[in-house]
Copies of this chain bind each other. A is one copy, B any other.
Amino acid sequence: MRDVAVIGIGMTDFGECWNDSLRDLFVKAALQAMDESGADRLDSIYVGSMSPGLFCGQEHIGSLLSDYLGQAPVPAARVESACASGGLALRCGFFEVASGASDFVLCGGVEKMTDVSGAQATYALGTASDQDYEAFHGATFPGLYALIATAHMHKYGTKREDLAQVAVKNHENGLLNPHAQYRMKITVEQVINSVKVADPLNILDCSPITDGAAAVLLCPLEMTKKLSKKPIVKIAASAMATDTMALHQRKDITWLGSTAKAAESAYKKAGVKPGDIDFAEVHDCFTIAEICVLESLGVVEKGKGGEASRSGLTARDGKFPVNPSGGLKSKGHPVGATGIAQIYEIVTQLRGEAGKRQLKKANRGLAQNMGGSGGSAVVHILEVL
């Protein structure tokens, strides 16, 4: 397998993008990534998108976006693993470059979610849960994560304030991210007093409905060294794992098995331990998710995820910064784009280009992207040379 590097990145502003269609969003992000790369061609395109069929009445977006980007006949594949579709796109592109089949592979993610009503969006997102055993019976994602939160509070004594603190911390970071959807400071009190969604989760515990796209261009490491004028960012590991789709089949719903397995595999491939990672972008679709993810990644012990934000461990100036971009909570969560937007942030930090939110130490970063209630997870580790 050849070593693979990121040679270009791009992303749109995240938010309610009334003036941009799905294809506009993708092309904007893709052109940025291509522009900064110095590459003179594309060999292949992967695009992660969860449900353009339900959100926009449009499938077959690989062909559509290759065409609209002016790149046909370049091969283009849409890949999907619910909210982990972006991470999956990177994984597929990684294999194509690593195999030696292609040199320049664009991995993008896009979701246009605001063309449908809130109820329709909730239905579309619900198709990432088990239709027969969960969604059909009325469970929504806020409901499923509320079950996880309740179990975590019961088992480990996690406090309501611990959940809120995750949102507060991520909004502090998002405030400094020009691409973020919700650039505002919030307090623990505001989170706790915000509108109830599914007890114990309030609206400020939930990531928003968002339009947006992100793209990264992959290239063999040796070619990147010759072509790129930017610091060289290598993909040290790409790993994916699955878990039971439905929550009721898991022995412990506070433990994200797919994240734990993917991380274990990624650490092994990169030859590192959790302590060797400087910072992470993780899938905080709900505040409780970030707490469980940190435990499953091995960053903190089981049951200690709630402490991580409270103690300052995961703050931007903490020992292990988490979601310096603002995370899904503040930056926004266009589901298919999220996994690639995480990579955008990590590369930006590793290059030292993050401006006011630049971390002091950023040599090795981890991205954890999750589908549904953890039925799938993709973990990437990136290093600057």
A185 to B77, alpha carbons, bound, how many Å?
37
Listed residue (A51, A54, A68, A127) with the most chain B CB atoms within 10 angstroms of its CB: A127
Listed residue (A101, A135, A249) with the most chain B CB atoms within 10 angstroms of its CB: A101
Binary per-residue interface labels of chain A (112-153) against chain B in the complex, 1 for a CB within 8 Å, 0 otherwise: 000000000001100111111001000000000000000000
Q: A314 on the interface (CB 8 Å rule)?
A: no
Q: A234 on the interface (CB 8 Å rule)?
A: no
A80 vs chain B, min Cβ distance (A): 5
Is B242 in contact with A53, judged by CB distance below 8 angstroms? no
Task: Assess A243 versus B375: contact at CB under 8 Å? Given A58-B131, A261-B73.
Answer: no
Q: A207 on the interface (CB 8 Å rule)?
A: no
Q: A8 on the interface (CB 8 Å rule)?
A: no
Nearest-neighbor residue (CB-CB) of A374 within chain B: B63
Is B80 in contact with A81, judged by CB distance below 8 angstroms? no
Interface residues of A in 147-182 (CB under 8 A from B): none
Is B101 in contact with A64, judged by CB distance below 8 angstroms? no
Task: Assess A371 versus B73: contact at CB under 8 Å? Given A1-B101, A53-B124, A79-B78.
Answer: no
Interface residues of A in 41-57 (CB under 8 A from B): 44, 50-51, 53-54, 56-57
Q: A233 on the interface (CB 8 Å rule)?
A: no
Contacts of A376 in B (CB 8 A): 60, 62-63, 75-76
A220 vs chain B, min Cβ distance (A): 12
Stretch at the interface among A88-96, A191-199, A303-311: A88-96
A63 to B258, alpha carbons, bound, how many Å?
10
A75 to B379, alpha carbons, bound, how many Å?
11
Is A81 in contact with B92, judged by CB distance below 8 angstroms? no
Assembly of this chain: how many copies? 2
The secondary structure that dominates the A interface is: mixed
Residue from B51, B57, B67, B245 within 8 A of A375 (CB atoms): B67
Q: A66 on the interface (CB 8 Å rule)?
A: yes
Residue from B57, B128, B129, B375 within 8 A of A127 (CB atoms): B57
A91 to B75, alpha carbons, bound, how many Å?
11
Binary per-residue interface labels of chain A (21-59) against chain B in the complex, 1 for a CB within 8 Å, 0 otherwise: 100000000000000000000001000001101101111
For the A-B complex with A44-B240, A77-B80 known, give 17 more contacts whose Cβ atoms are closer than 8 Å. A53-B124, A53-B127, A60-B80, A60-B127, A62-B88, A66-B242, A72-B241, A73-B243, A73-B257, A73-B261, A74-B242, A75-B242, A77-B79, A77-B91, A79-B80, A95-B95, A99-B99
5 nearest A-B pairs in the assembled complex, by CB-CB distance: A63-B375, A99-B99, A75-B240, A60-B82, A73-B241
The contact sample of 13 A-B pairs, CB cut-off 8 A, is A58-B131, A59-B80, A60-B82, A60-B129, A60-B372, A60-B375, A60-B376, A64-B245, A66-B242, A67-B242, A67-B249, A72-B241, A78-B80
Interface on A for B, CB 8 Å cutoff? 1, 21, 44, 50-51, 53-54, 56-60, 62-64, 66-68, 71-82, 88, 91-92, 95-96, 98-101, 123-124, 127-132, 135, 239-246, 249, 257-258, 261-262, 371-372, 375-376
